[in-house]
C-alpha cells in the first residue's frame, strides 16, 4: 500500500494511451542529411526538403517530395538533422507521424523516399503511393 502511494497511480493509466503517442514525429536518416547537405554545398541558396501527402496514386495517397528554397509557411513543421532541414505541412504530418525519410541509391535511380510509415496499411511497388490504416 505504501509503495503504491509513493509510485503514483496504478499502471492501468498507461494502457489507455495510444501507441502513436510514443512515436517520433519524423525520423531523418543519415543518408538523407548527407545528400541534402551535399546538394546545398553546390546550390546558390540553401534548400530544404518538403515532404507532403496528397490524394492520388494507385493506393489512395501519394508522397510528394520536393527540394525548395522558398520561404516556409507559418504552420510548417521543420525537422533538422546535421544542418539539413525537412519540412512538413500540418495536414501531411498527421499522415506521416512516425515515418522515416530516407535517401535511397538504387541501380537505376537515386531518390528521397518515405519508408516505414506506421499509418500505412500497404503501398504500391514504386514506393510513392500508400493506403491508410482505418
pLDDT tens per residue across all 134 residues of the chain: 444 444 444 444 444 444 445 668 999 999 999 999 999 999 999 999 999 998 876 667 888 999 999 999 999 999 999 999 999 999 999 989 999 999 999 888 899 999 888 877 755 555 555 556 56
- The structure's pTM equals 0.76
Residues in the chain: 134
Cell of 91: 495536414
CATH 3.40.50.1860 fits 20-132, yes or no: no
Please state whether beta strands 120-123 and 61-68 pair in parallel, antiparallel, or not at all (unpaired): unpaired
Amino acid at each position: 500500500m505504501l509503495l503504491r502511494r509513493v509510485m503514483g497511480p496504478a499502471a492501468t493509466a498507461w494502457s489507455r494511451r495510444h501507441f502513436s503517442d510514443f512515436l517520433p514525429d519524423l525520423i531523418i536518416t543519415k543518408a538523407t542529411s548527407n545528400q541534402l547537405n551535399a546538394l546545398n554545398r553546390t546550390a546558390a541558396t540553401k534548400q530544404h526538403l518538403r515532404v507532403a501527402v496528397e490524394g492520388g496514386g494507385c493506393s489512395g495517397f501519394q508522397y510528394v517530395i520536393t527540394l525548395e528554397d522558398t520561404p516556409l509557411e507559418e504552420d510548417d513543421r521543420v525537422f533538422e538533422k546535421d544542418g539539413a532541414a525537412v519540412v512538413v505541412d500540418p495536414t501531411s504530418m498527421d499522415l506521416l507521424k512516425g515515418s522515416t525519410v530516407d535517401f535511397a541509391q538504387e541501380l537505376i535511380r537515386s531518390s528521397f523516399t518515405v519508408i516505414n510509415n506506421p499509418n500505412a496499411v500497404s503501398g504500391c511497388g514504386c514506393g510513392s503511393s500508400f493506403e491508410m490504416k482505418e
